[in-house]
Amino acid sequence: MTNRTWEGLVFIGTSVDGQVARSDGSLDWLVSRGETAGDAGYAEFMERVDVILMGRATYEVARGFEPWPYEATPVVVLSTTLQDDQDDRVRIERGLDEATEVFNGMGARGVYIDGASTIQSCLEAGLVDELTISQVPVLIGAGIPLFRTVPQDIDLTLGRSVVLDGGMVQTTYRVTHD
Amino acid sequence: MTNRTWEGLVFIGTSVDGQVARSDGSLDWLVSRGETAGDAGYAEFMERVDVILMGRATYEVARGFEPWPYEATPVVVLSTTLQDDQDDRVRIERGLDEATEVFNGMGARGVYIDGASTIQSCLEAGLVDELTISQVPVLIGAGIPLFRTVPQDIDLTLGRSVVLDGGMVQTTYRVTHD
């Protein structure tokens, strides 16, 4: 694996049953319960982020946000199908190797990895170093799960776990790389 | 629904990706990480338990334990296939309605609901009142998930969340019944 200048950082909200969104991508269950937690440490987290990596599906949701929420931070979108020049707010890369090269070339230190599918790919590729998971108190059943299969056990080390307003439990883990 | 004398209580360990066991039922990943947490509040929890309800699959694992760990507490096993008199340490019931009647007849106050499938059935039937989930710091990928689909969102209220030795995060929720 290429050496990295950067750490891969995940910061994501889930239901207690581990979904990041309903099957149609909607986040009503999260937003309604998460808002009393304020920014839930997001601004502090973003201070460590030099660039955002998201998958195509997450981008398709984010591109509709008004205003574009990532004005201050470069965004790389992983996609094999999107055209390079279709949105000048983002840079399209075709795979994790290409994205890794971009981040290294930037001298990035912190890469915010977003979207369940991209998080999963990065976990499998050993590119995730830290996971902050904010669980809101609801079971939604069906949806898009944060975690799927992994090739082998991935050992975590607890950083901290805090209770935020509204009953959100926010836990940070470091990933142990073999 | 029949009135209940009792509350349905869940007390279970999971990986961070929400599995209660590997696909073959093994708990090595949990035991190895959970032991530094001591009994993790189990004895205190059991003081509130008058009877245990478990599914057939969980029973098939538990029946091999030496010594039988539930000497002090009656055990009801949900099964449509086991014979009534095949193990005098447990009582077999065919469904949740029958089990509910048994618990009511005992004047039970606390019922410990164990096993992913039984927990799921009880959640769907509105029989779970409290969930204590102890997450150990590992992703195991495949396995038996604690949660599956639910007919509609199940609203939870955070009770408490504590960090135990070994990086276990133990969180208790109350279930909001509509």
Inform me whether the pLDDT recorded for A1 exceeds 60: no
- List pLDDT tens digits, range B67-98: 999 999 999 999 999 999 899 999 999 999 99
**Residue A2: pLDDT band with limits 50, 70, 90:** low
Range of the domain at A13: 7-175
Contact between residue B158 and residue A167 where contact means Cβ atoms under 8 Å apart: yes
- List pLDDT tens digits, range A79-135: 999 999 899 999 999 999 999 999 999 999 999 999 999 999 999 999 999 999 999
Cα A75 from chain centroid (whole Å): 12
Does B41 fall in a domain?
yes
Average pLDDT over chain B, rounded to whole?
94
Average confidence (pLDDT) over B111-128: 96
Contact between residue A134 and residue A36 where contact means Cβ atoms under 8 Å apart: no
Quick one: pLDDT at residue A27? 92
Name residue A15's beta-bridge partners. Answer: A136
Quick one: pLDDT at residue B2? 60
Reported ipTM: the value is: 0.94
Count: domains in chain B: 1
Q: Does B178 touch chain A (CB under 8 A)?
A: no
Q: Does B10 touch chain A (CB under 8 A)?
A: no
- Residue B51 distance to chain A (closest CA, Å): 26
Inform me whether the pLDDT recorded for B1 exceeds 70: no
A25 Rama class: left (phi>0) / alpha (psi -120 to 50) / beta: left
- List pLDDT tens digits, range A13-52: 999 999 999 998 899 999 988 888 889 999 999 999 999 9
Q: Does A29 touch chain B (CB under 8 A)?
A: yes
Q: Does B124 touch chain A (CB under 8 A)?
A: no
Cα A35 from chain centroid (whole Å): 19
Q: Do A150 and B161 touch (CB under 8 A)?
A: no
Work out whether strand B75-78 and strand B51-55 pair parallel, antiparallel, or are unpaired: parallel
Number of A/B CB contacts below 8 angstroms equals 99
Inform me whether the pLDDT recorded for B99 exceeds 90: yes
Contact between residue B138 and residue A178 where contact means Cβ atoms under 8 Å apart: no
Cis ω before A67 (30° cut-off from 0): yes
From chain A, pick out residues whose CB is under 8 angstroms from the CB of B152.
141
Instruction: Give the nearest partner residue to A138 out of B141, B146, B155, using CB atoms.
Output: B155
Does B1 fall in a domain?
no
Torsion of CA B8, B13, B14, B20, to 10 degrees: -70
Does A79 fall in a domain?
yes
Does B62 fall in a domain?
yes
Q: Does A27 touch chain B (CB under 8 A)?
A: no
- List pLDDT tens digits, range B26-71: 999 999 888 888 899 999 999 999 999 999 999 998 999 899 999 9
Does A23 fall in a domain?
yes
The SS3 call for residue B57 is: helix
* Token pair in block for residue B26: 């093994």
Instruction: Give the nearest partner residue to B157 out of A147, A167, A173, using CB atoms.
Output: A167
Q: Does A153 touch chain B (CB under 8 A)?
A: yes
From chain A, pick out residues whose CB is under 8 angstroms from the CB of B141.
147-154
For chain B, what's the residue count?
Answer: 178
Q: For residue A152, what is the nearest residue in chain B, using CA coordinates?
A: B140
Q: Does A123 touch chain B (CB under 8 A)?
A: yes
* Token pair in block for residue B141: 């990928």
Does B33 fall in a domain?
yes
Q: How far apart are CA B91 and CA B82, in angstroms?
A: 10
Cα B79 from chain centroid (whole Å): 16
Instruction: Please state whether the predicted TM-score (pTM) of the whole model is above 0.80.
Output: yes
Q: Does A177 touch chain B (CB under 8 A)?
A: no
The CATH number linked to B45 is: 3.40.430.10
The SS3 call for residue A69 is: coil
Does B64 fall in a domain?
yes
From chain A, pick out residues whose CB is under 8 angstroms from the CB of B29.
153
From chain A, pick out residues whose CB is under 8 angstroms from the CB of B156.
16, 137-139, 167
Rg (CA), chain A: 16
Does B2 fall in a domain?
no
